[in-house]
Amino acid sequence: MLARNDLSGAETCYRQATAFGPQDALAHVNLAFVLLQQQRHDETFTELRAALAIDPCNADAHYLIGGLHELDLDLARAALHFQRAFELNPEFDLACRDACRVLFQLGQTASARNLIAAGLALNPTFADFHFYEGNLHFSNDALDSALESYREALALGADYSALHGFIGGILLKRNDIGSALVHLQRAIELDNDNTEAHHDLGVVQIRLGNVKEAIQHQEIVIAQDPGQLQAYSCLLFALGSSVECTPQQYLKVATAYAVQVRKTVQPLTPLPPRESTAITAIQPLRIGWVCGDFRKHVNLSFLRHLLVGLSAAPVELFAFSNNPYDDDVTRDVRTVMPHWHDISNLTDREAASLIQECHIDILIDLAGHTAHNRLPIFAWRPAPIQVSWLGFFASTGLVEMDYLIADPISVPKEWQPHFSERIWYLPETRLCMTPPPATDASVVVELPAKVTGHITFGCFQALSKINDSVLSAWAQVMSRVPDSRLRLQIRYLEVPGVSGRLLERIQRAGIPVGRVELQGGVPVADYFAAHNEVDIILDTFPYPGGTTTAEALWMGVPTVTLKGNSLLARQGASMLLNAGLSDWIADDEADYVERAVHFASNTSTLEHIRARLRQQALASPLFDGPRFTTHFLFALRAMHQERCAG
């Protein structure tokens, strides 16, 4: 770029050139370039139009005009001029590159395909062409090919935010969390306004247990783009693990999410609910389920019993699946869900219209603010009765969600103001676990302490649940239980640096690291077998175990849990109460420590519990599928009757 004094002199020279040779297109282009350096865009346009009037085939003039249109955000015209410049000069790789960039911004990926191929043929060492080739593959969901192209761009020296962000996003989809972390952090170093990188990094941080960082990244996204609904959902999920977030603060964020959703919604004309007298075996109640997890997923552990039970009842089941992924569990679910619809490629409006066309009586959301959710569909009001259940642990924030299904332990009646939905109570438990397959769950063995001579505490929770308050309570327990051990088996501990950071936090909390065993993620059968090396599970708070608590009960291992101040914080209490272990529920942290120490000091009690717990759990409401189905179906019919009665 010319220095400021040089610009002035160059402008004088080029103006003289245009005066002496008014038909000299090159002189007008050179003058335009100097004016552009001074950001005198109107004068630049004037000179470039003059150049093209003299020589319509001047590639440089078209290229510079394309740049001006791009600065003015007139991307369609910018693309036309960049492409014209490359047509006129097939060696003009910059014009080709910029045409590709603008076409991607316009979403015209098909139009960019030939340009990318031409650019790679012209200059195969130009990193940008490999980047755009990666974008092309990414747009076609060919993630392996996209990653290969992106890495080639890196090898050729490219180092810009979007490139690292896309690589990090793909690695996140592959669950390569450690590598994703490196690239996403680099993306933000290069451009702190890269909202996609902030969003993905927030997802990575919650998986690695860094709750505060996860919250901060999603708040950055929302501050820059309040309409980013995924960021709201990720933020709400992360807030569930925050010891600092109150139910009132949570609901405030959920309500802000709902406000953004309604900006994009035009509710459908409602259909009247069918009269309850018409709901018979001839014309059964139509139940729709919106879910992205009809596959191998923890939610299916709590859904299988119910779906099988309802399939034999006078109801019709409609699945609206938001995930095209198909596995053996998906195929198993389809056998009891005869009306199956894939909505993963439909817009919210299209999906809502489809649901309404199916004349659904009650539409149930199974995701809440978790991955693959389609909560905005509910804001379109495609069904007369809309319900939140199972997949989430708090309010959705949507006033269009009529009910949230809970139980009296997880949501006391005085907590109704914590929810935008009305709480509908099941009489015993809101969750019913399907026993694990025999191929996964091993037999229950005798109490490990009888063999080892010491108590082994265990935890199989996500990293995000292990906060400093939890570690402090564990430290107090272990200090009062001589020779006790702590076994943590947690996914992502195998990621480089993660286990080291956790050990540092454990040591700061006062737990001797020599008495701690860390294990990363393992196959399902090995996960169940690991319970045979644990005497007592120490629950986390305020985000306790759900599936892990039920699975531990099945393996004969009781859990010490803390009864908190939210639906989420009390799910452990609800499960243990229903399983007949009310003595294992603590009221506060001090009580939590006392109960853990008490039970650890009574190995005969632990031995007795271990011998009978699986059968006790199986006979309880927590595992009794037919009993739970009866309660759930009664609730659905009562909702419908109430709606019909106005």
Mean pLDDT of 35-63: 86
pTM, two decimal places: 0.90
Give yes or no: residues 405 and 496 share one domain. no
Residues 6+ apart with CB under 8 A from 292: 321, 322, 323, 344, 367, 371, 372, 373, 374
User: What average pLDDT does the chain have?
Assistant: 92
Mean pLDDT of 358-376: 96
Residues 6+ apart with CB under 8 A from 213: 202, 205
Give yes or no: residues 348 and 490 share one domain. no
Q: Does 280 score more than 60 pLDDT?
A: no
Domain finish residue from 162, 196, 230: 196
Question: DSSP per residue over 349-390, as a string?
Answer: HHHHHHHHHTT-SEEEES-TTSTT--HHHHHT--SSEEEE-S
Give yes or no: residues 453 and 587 share one domain. yes
Residue 246 forms part of a structural domain: no
Q: 161-170, 209-218, 295-304, 579-588: which range is least confident on average?
A: 295-304
Give the model's pLDDT for residue 101: 94
CATH number at residue 9: 1.25.40.10
How far, in Å, CA of 216 to CA of 551, rounded? 33
pLDDT band, very low/low/confident/very high, at 415 (cuts 50, 70, 90): very high
Give yes or no: residues 10 and 103 share one domain. yes
How far, in Å, CA of 390 to CA of 367, rounded? 7
Question: DSSP per residue over 217-282, as a string?
Answer: HHHHHHHH-TT-HHHHHHHHHHHTT-TT--HHHHHHHHHHHHHHHHTT--PPPPPPPPPGGG-SSS
Q: Does 615 score more than 50 pLDDT?
A: yes
Residue 124 forms part of a structural domain: yes
Sheet containing 456-459: order of strands: 516-519, 485-489, 456-459, 536-538, 559-562, 585-586
How far, in Å, CA of 133 to CA of 121, rounded? 12
Mean pLDDT of 93-114: 93
Domain residues for 49?
4-196
Residue 525 · residue 439 · CB < 8 Å = yes
CATH number at residue 414: 3.40.50.11380
Give yes or no: residues 516 and 606 share one domain. yes
How far, in Å, CA of 277 to CA of 590, rounded? 54
Select the more confidently predicted residue: 52 or 14.
Answer: 52
How far, in Å, CA of 557 to CA of 563, rounded? 19
Residue 126 forms part of a structural domain: yes
How far, in Å, CA of 635 to CA of 641, rounded? 10
Q: Does 5 score more than 60 pLDDT?
A: no
Q: Does 295 score more than 90 pLDDT?
A: no
Give the model's pLDDT for residue 4: 46
Mean pLDDT of 637-646: 91
Express each pLDDT in 182-210 by its tens digit. Answer: 999 999 999 999 999 999 999 999 999 99
Residue 239 forms part of a structural domain: no
Give yes or no: residues 346 and 471 share one domain. no
CATH number at residue 527: 3.40.50.2000
Q: Does 588 score more than 60 pLDDT?
A: yes
Residue 530 forms part of a structural domain: yes
Q: Does 507 score more than 90 pLDDT?
A: yes
pLDDT band, very low/low/confident/very high, at 11 (cuts 50, 70, 90): low
Give yes or no: residues 420 and 466 share one domain. no
Residue 422 main-chain phi, psi, to 5 deg = -85, 135
Give yes or no: residues 394 and 533 share one domain. no
How far, in Å, CA of 580 to CA of 603, rounded? 19
Give yes or no: residues 389 and 453 share one domain. no
Mean pLDDT of 308-324: 94
Give yes or no: residues 53 and 100 share one domain. yes
Give yes or no: residues 562 and 528 share one domain. yes
- Structural domains in the chain (count): 3
Give the model's pLDDT for residue 266: 87
> How many CB atoms are located within 10 Å of the residue 192 CB?
13
pLDDT band, very low/low/confident/very high, at 16 (cuts 50, 70, 90): low
Type of residue at 283? Q
Domain finish residue from 137, 164, 196: 196
Q: Quote the crossing angle between the two packed helices 127-139 and 109-122, to the nearest 10°.
A: 150
Residue 539 · residue 473 · CB < 8 Å = no
Residue 213 forms part of a structural domain: no
Select the more confidently predicted residue: 384 or 277.
Answer: 384
Domain finish residue from 369, 390, 425: 425
Q: Does 153 score more than 50 pLDDT?
A: yes
Of all residues in the chain, what percent carry a pLDDT higher than 90?
A: 80
Residue 503 forms part of a structural domain: yes
Give yes or no: residues 9 and 98 share one domain. yes
Residue 534 forms part of a structural domain: yes
Of all residues in the chain, what percent carry a pLDDT higher than 70?
A: 94
Residue 153 · residue 123 · CB < 8 Å = no
The Cβ-side half-sphere exposure at 188, using a 13 Å CA radius, reads 18
